[in-house]
C-alpha cells in the first residue's frame, strides 16, 4: 500500500474528528491522538492497536500512520511543529516511543485538565507562549511514562520529505525521476531506492496516484471533458491516464464520473 506525504503548512492545529478513516501517510509534525468516543484502529509504524475511549497515542515526526473507524468514533487530534515543544524539540526529532500507545489509567490528571483548551482551539486560539507552555506540560507528563528509542529516521527521511513536498506542488507539470533528482541534487538511483523502501512504490506509481486523486476531484466537480481532465492532471497521454485511472479505481474515468453524479 502506498504511503502518502501530508504537507501541513500551519505550525499548530487541534480539532475533533468524527469517524476518521485515513490511509497510510506521514508528515514532519508531531501528533497527539486522544480517543474521546467510540473505537478506532490506529497503525503507527510497525505498531497496531484497537483504541477505545480515553486512550492516547503518540505519533512522532515522520512516522507512518493510518486510521480506520469501523463504527462511530471521535478523536481529538493535536498536530504541531516540533519547534513548539520547547526543550523537547530535539527529543521529538531524534527519538520515538518504543510503544506509542498509552492506556487510559496511565494518563496524568494534568493532561485531562489541559485537553479541554485544545478541544476549543479553533474557536478560541491560544497565544503562542501559552500554547508552548501547555504543550510542555502535556509532553512532560506523557514522556515521563514513555520509553524512547533512537529514531529510525535518517538523512534519507529529509530527502524524501523534500521530494514529496516538491511533487505535491508540481505533479500537474511535466515531471520525471531525472528532473526531480536534478532539482534535489541527488542521484536518481538513490532517490528511486528511497521511494521503494520508504513509500512502498516507485516514483511513477506515486506520481500517478497524486494525479489520479486530483483527476477524481475534477471529474466530480467540473464539467470539462475527460481528455481535459487528463491534461490538467499532468498526463501527457490519454492512454496512460485511462490505464492508470482504472488500475487505481477499478473504473474508467467516464464510469467514475457517472457514479459520482448518481
Residues 137 and 39 reside in one and the same domain: yes
Give me the pLDDT at residue 248, please. Answer: 86
- Based on the domain organization, do 54 and 79 belong to the same domain? yes
CATH number where 79 lies: 2.60.120.810
Residue 16 pLDDT more than 80? yes
Is 222 a residue whose pLDDT tops 60?
Answer: yes
Stretch 210-222: mean pLDDT: 91
Domain of 196 in residue numbering reads as 155-261
124 contacts 15 by C-beta, under 8 angstroms = no
Q: Name the domain count of the chain.
A: 2
Residue 238: which CATH number? 1.10.10.60
Q: Are 142 and 188 contained in the same domain?
A: no
- On whether both 145 and 29 belong to a single domain, the answer is yes
Q: What is the pLDDT of residues 150-175, one digit of tens each?
A: 876 556 667 877 888 888 889 999 99
Report residue 197's pLDDT band, with 50, 70 and 90 as the boundaries: confident
Lowest mean pLDDT among 105-119, 122-136, 186-200, 247-261: 186-200
Q: What is the per-residue pLDDT for 123?
A: 83
H-run or E-run covering 25: strand 22-26
Q: Binning pLDDT at 50, 70 and 90, where does residue 91 land?
A: very high
Helix (H) or strand (E) holding 4: strand 4-5
pTM: predicted TM-score of the whole model, two decimal places: 0.73
* pLDDT for residue 41: 95
Which of 49, 177, 159, 163 has the alpha carbon at shortest distance from 104? 49
Amino acid at each position: 500500500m502506498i504511503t502518502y506525504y501530508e504537507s501541513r503548512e500551519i505550525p499548530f492545529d487541534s480539532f475533533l474528528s468524527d469517524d476518521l478513516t485515513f490511509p497510510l501517510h506521514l508528515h514532519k509534525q508531531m501528533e497527539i491522538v486522544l480517543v474521546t468516543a467510540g473505537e478506532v484502529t490506529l497503525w503507527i509504524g510497525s505498531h497496531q492497536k484497537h483504541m477505545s475511549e480515553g486512550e492516547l497515542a503518540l505519533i512522532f515526526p515522520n512516522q507512518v500512520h493510518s486510521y480506520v473507524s469501523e463504527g462511530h468514533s471521535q478523536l481529538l487530534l493535536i498536530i504541531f511543529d516540533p519547534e513548539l515543544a520547547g526543550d523537547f524539540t530535539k527529543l521529538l526529532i531524534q527519538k520515538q516511543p518504543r510503544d506509542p500507545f498509552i492506556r487510559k489509567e496511565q494518563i496524568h490528571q494534568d493532561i485531562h485538565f489541559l485537553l479541554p483548551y485544545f478541544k476549543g482551539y479553533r474557536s478560541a486560539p491560544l497565544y503562542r507562549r501559552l500554547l508552548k507552555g501547555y504543550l510542555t506540560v502535556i509532553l512532560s507528563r506523557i514522556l515521563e511514562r514513555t520509553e524512547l528509542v533512537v529514531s529510525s529516521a535518517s538523512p534519507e527521511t529529509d530527502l524524501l520529505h523534500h521530494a514529496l513536498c516538491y511533487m505535491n506542488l508540481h505533479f500537474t507539470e511535466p515531471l520525471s525521476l531525472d528532473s526531480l533528482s536534478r532539482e534535489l541534487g541527488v542521484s536518481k538511483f538513490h532517490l528511486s531506492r528511497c521511494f521503494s523502501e520508504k513509500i512502498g512504490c516507485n516514483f511513477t506509481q506515486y506520481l500517478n496516484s497524486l494525479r489520479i486523486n486530483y483527476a477524481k476531484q475534477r471529474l466530480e466537480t467540473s464539467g470539462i471533458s475527460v481528455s481535459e481532465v487528463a491534461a490538467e492532471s499532468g498526463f501527457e497521454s490519454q492512454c496512460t491516464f485511462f490505464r492508470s485511472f482504472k488500475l487505481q479505481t477499478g473504473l474508467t474515468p467516464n464510469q467514475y464520473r457517472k457514479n459520482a453524479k448518481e
